């Protein structure tokens, strides 16, 4: 399929790459500047390749609450959470964001998980009062990322972001309450276009998801760039992701991965009650203190700065004393520092007693302070 802004990206000189059902801007010919915009100013990226669904009907809350790993019933319009779809064995089949609107939930997920989510939810249409709509048929999804993003949104919309809700108090099964962090959202106008603006921090930066009708997408994009946002491709966003230590479904974790292995505890409630996969993740959390045999780990691979062009690929073994102790999942050369940054799974025993690590004959170091 062709995403709504495809023609506009071509006029901006975007270099495209396949993603999901179509192609997205990989970059606009200036990767270092695009990365800098994301971490120093504000970048605007077309996220329309992400799976986006509207879920409606009287049974929507009950059905979704039984599937996902996070609280759903306490959500009120204007709030949302991150959650997981799991197998009965606690393995990840999708990570999603779930936003509560007055009559619907809007759900977004990685391109690699879009078909999986649709397959899981489609049978519910026949099971009760439940509607499932693919929002990509009508909406583009834009991401505004960077330290200047909040001020930019406020200046274009007049929205007082400081008043937006950041948490809900929810009841725990068995008694008591706890605080649930939430994403706030509001329907606003940018220019003459109506936009659902969702506060969605991304890779350590302030960020917003903007849902806009196809016919208004270019108008909103133009207002954002006119206000100072830099057009950014997916390559720069990937650098930020790997630098921050955040895994991505289809790249760093999938249906073979236990949620705690990939550092996804923030998307799990251990107190909400029954959902698919709960028993396994609860056992790991309460009995095993979230200990698993391996962990997704942020890494740095030694490199002659800027000279070796070939980077190790996904699945490349990580060795210690000549024995495999893990595998790489994501690798990127930083466009500013020229460092080779990576994510990979390491055995927990190695993390407990650090030892010299090697990939393709090059030393590997664990990056301290990154998210995973």
Q: What is the mean pLDDT of residues 178-204?
A: 96
pLDDT digits (tens, 9 = 90+) for 322-343: 999 999 999 999 999 999 999 9
The answer for 291, left when phi > 0, alpha when psi is -120 to 50, beta otherwise, is: beta
Q: What is the mean pLDDT of residues 24-49?
A: 98
The answer for 174, left when phi > 0, alpha when psi is -120 to 50, beta otherwise, is: left
Judged against a pLDDT cut of 70, whether residue 294 lies above it is answered with yes
Domain limits, CATH 3.30.1360.120, in the chain = 1-292
pTM, to two decimals: 0.95
pLDDT digits (tens, 9 = 90+) for 85-109: 999 999 999 999 999 999 999 999 9
Q: Is 173 exposed, middle or buried (0-12, 13-18, 19+ CB in 10 A)?
A: exposed
Q: Which of 3, 52, 91, 53 is nearest to 268 (CA)?
A: 91
Reported CATH class of domain 1-292 = alpha beta
Q: What is the mean pLDDT of residues 113-136?
A: 97
Domain limits, CATH 2.40.30.110, in the chain = 293-372
Q: pLDDT over 90 for what percent of the chain?
A: 88
Cα of 171 vs its chain's centroid, Å: 27
Neighbouring-strand partners of residue 346? 295, 326
318 contacts: CB under 8 Å, gap ≥ 6: 299, 324, 325, 326, 327, 328, 344, 346, 357, 358, 359, 364
137 contacts: CB under 8 Å, gap ≥ 6: none
Q: Which CATH superfamily is domain 293-372 in?
A: Aminomethyltransferase beta-barrel domains (2.40.30.110)
């Amino acid at each position: 399929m062709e995403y709504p802004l495809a023609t506009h990206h071509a006029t901006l000189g975007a270099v495209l790459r396949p993603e999901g059902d179509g192609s997205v801007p990989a970059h606009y010919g200036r990767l270092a500047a695009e990365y800098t915009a994301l971490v120093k100013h504000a970048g605007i990226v077309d996220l329309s390749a992400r799976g986006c669904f509207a879920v409606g009907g009287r049974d929507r809350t009950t059905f979704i609450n039984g599937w996902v790993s996070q609280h759903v019933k306490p959500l009120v319009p204007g709030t949302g959470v991150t959650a997981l779809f799991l197998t009965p064995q606690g393995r990840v089949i999708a990570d999603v964001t779930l936003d509560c609107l007055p009559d619907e939930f809007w759900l977004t997920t990685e391109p690699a998980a879009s078909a999986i989510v649709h397959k899981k939810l489609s049978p519910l249409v026949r099971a009760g009062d439940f509607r499932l709509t693919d929002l990509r048929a009508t909406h583009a999804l834009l991401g505004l990322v960077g330290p200047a993003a909040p001020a930019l949104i406020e200046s274009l919309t007049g929205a007082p972001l400081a008043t937006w809700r950041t948490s809900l108090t929810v009841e725990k099964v068995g008694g008591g309450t706890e605080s649930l962090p939430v994403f706030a959202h509001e329907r606003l106008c940018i220019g003459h276009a109506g936009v659902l603006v969702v506060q969605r921090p991304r890779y350590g930066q302030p960020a917003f998801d903007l849902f806009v009708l196809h016919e208004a997408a270019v108008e909103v994009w133009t207002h954002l760039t006119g206000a100072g946002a830099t057009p950014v491709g997916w390559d720069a966003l990937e650098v930020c992701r790997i630098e921050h230590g955040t895994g991505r479904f289809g790249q760093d974790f999938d249906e073979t991965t236990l949620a705690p292995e990939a550092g996804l505890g923030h998307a799990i409630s251990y107190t909400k009650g029954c959902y698919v996969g709960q028993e396994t993740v609860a056992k790991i959390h309460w009995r095993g203190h979230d200990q698993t045999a391996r962990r997704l780990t942020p890494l740095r691979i030694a490199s002659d700065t800027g000279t070796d062009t070939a980077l190790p690929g996904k699945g490349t073994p990580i060795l210690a004393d000549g024995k495999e102790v893990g595998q790489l999942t994501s690798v990127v050369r930083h466009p500013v520092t020229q460092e080779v940054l990576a994510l990979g799974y390491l055995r927990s025993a190695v993390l407990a007693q650090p030892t010299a690590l090697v990939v393709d004959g090059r030393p590997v170091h664990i990056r301290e302070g990154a998210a995973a």
